[in-house]
Amino acid sequence: MNNSRHFINLEPGDDRVFKRKSCLEGLAKRLAVDWHDPDLLYQALTHSSFTYESRQNGFDNNQRLEFLGDVVLDLAVSDFLFRSYPNRDEGDLTKMRAALVCEPSLARVAKELGLGYCMRMGKGEERSGGRERPSILADVFEALLGAVYLDQGLVVAGNLALQFLAPVIKDVLEGRLDRDYKTELQEIVQQHGGEQVQYEILREEGPDHEKTFTAGVLYKGELAGTGTGRSKKDAEQQAAKFTLLNWGV
């Protein structure tokens, strides 16, 4: 029996009830997953701002699932690239993977799935545009993969990841990809025989549901550039971008 409707437990009095119900039902059809534990999907769609405002246990939000989904995504994409392109070297495969799993690519997939409007989210985060914020969209897609992995296993989760990333994969192969500043920076360093750059989170500001991160690029033990973002990944990309600008690249 398909349990895909069991997770549609909308909050009483929510004026977006019909829109969100439609979104959830559409998502369930696209996933085509016969959930053993539909609550995992509901948790994947719960932003930390919701649990913060409602004073619920923080583990009910999607942050832990995001952590797991990030690993699932990396493995699925790495395996796909390794098997599909036997003549590409490690550098090419790394660059392709970085373009596929970067924040803009994942946010694009999440937006296509309508994940932002399926989420439970705090009112403050929603008012600030959280449902369309790239960092939140990328994170919820990873959380979704984490939920599918726990419920259905690695093969199903990996296949779903590749299925929804298919348009992005096509763009990457045809050279239409967003710039990955971290990879560009590392390539420049390697061309000049330098040591690897390192990234360090220098500062975290704001409550758990609305943090801003500042990252720094360390090269030869010195701070080469900094950047800020709503996620650690975005902050590191911005730090790499400004390092390239500082170096005149």
- Tens digits of residue pLDDT in 143-164: 999 999 999 999 999 999 999 9
Q: Which of these, 181, 231, 171, 225, lies nearest to 206 by C-alpha position? A: 231
Q: Which of 125, 139, 142, 151 is catalytic?
A: 142
Average pLDDT over the chain, rounded to an integer? 85
pLDDT tens digits, 114-148: 999 899 998 888 888 889 888 899 999 999 999 99
CATH number of 181-246: 3.30.160.20
Q: Which of 70, 151, 180, 234 is catalytic?
A: 70
Lowest mean per-residue pLDDT among 6-15, 171-180, 193-202, 237-246: 6-15
Asked if 70 is an active-site residue, the reply is: yes
Alpha-carbon span 118 to 35, nearest angstrom: 17
Name, in order, each residue with C-beta under 8 angstroms of 133's C-beta and a sequence gap of 6 or more.
Answer: 230
Q: Which of these, 117, 156, 123, lies nearest to 140 by C-alpha position? A: 117
The domain segmentation of the chain, as residue ranges, is 17-173, 181-246
Q: Which two tokens stand for residue 102?
A: 């970067």
Q: In what order do the strands lie in the sheet with 222-229?
A: 198-205, 212-219, 222-229
Distances in Å between the alpha carbon of 141 and those of 5, 66, 189, 239? 19, 8, 32, 24
pLDDT interval class at 6 (50, 70, 90): very low
Phi then psi for 163, rounded to 5 degrees? Answer: -60, -50
pLDDT of residue 61: 92
CATH superfamily label, 17-173: Ribonuclease III domain (1.10.1520.10)
Asked if 236 is an active-site residue, the reply is: no
CA atoms within 13 A of residue 23's CA, in its CB half-sphere: 21
